[in-house]
Amino acid sequence: MRIANEEVFGPVLSIIPFEDEDEAVSIANNTVYGLAAGVWTKSIRRALTMSERLEAGTVWVNTYRAVSYMSPFGGYKRSGIGRESGLGAIHEYLQTKSVWIDIVGNVANPFVQR
């Protein structure tokens, strides 16, 4: 179905029946998008295993569209690269550099690893 394969932004709900967790994960992950997913369950085991298996940048359990500037936000696959918000977003603006300085003045052979 088109609604199950596109990233729909709006007040839309699609209901797709499934037999078990494996089929639910297969249906959910069978798309080129992966912005967010929602899981409703009374089982903390199911909440954790489904959250791990779903290919989505955000997984809400027993809630939906809860957000915080402290939590990274971004998708998998064609739903984006990188993260907004949270500490992870800072890395998009940084470059890592290593600097080694000899303050003793003993210049050793630079071709011998220390």
Measured in whole angstroms, the distance separating CA 17 from the mean position of its chain's CA atoms is: 25
Kindly state whether residue 113 falls inside one of the protein's structural domains: no
Residues 91, 73: Cα–Cα separation, whole Å: 13
pLDDT tens digit at each of 114 positions of the chain? 788 888 888 888 888 999 999 999 999 999 999 999 999 999 999 999 999 999 999 999 999 889 888 888 889 999 987 788 888 788 877 888 887 777 888 777 778 776
Measured distance CA(49)–CA(13) in Å, rounded: 23
Residue 106 domain-assigned? no
Angle between helices 44-53 and 21-29 (to 10 degrees): 30
Q: CB-based burial of residue 46 (10 Å sphere; 0-12 exposed, 13-18 middle, 19+ buried)?
A: middle
In a domain, 114, yes or no: no
Residue 62 belongs to domain spanning: 2-93
Flag whether 32 is in a domain: yes
Instruction: Give the CATH number, domain containing residue 68.
Output: 3.40.309.10
- Residue 49 one-letter amino acid: T
Between CA 31 and CA 27, with CA 8 as vertex, the angle to 5 degrees is: 30
Domain count, the chain: 1
The pTM for the full model equals: 0.74
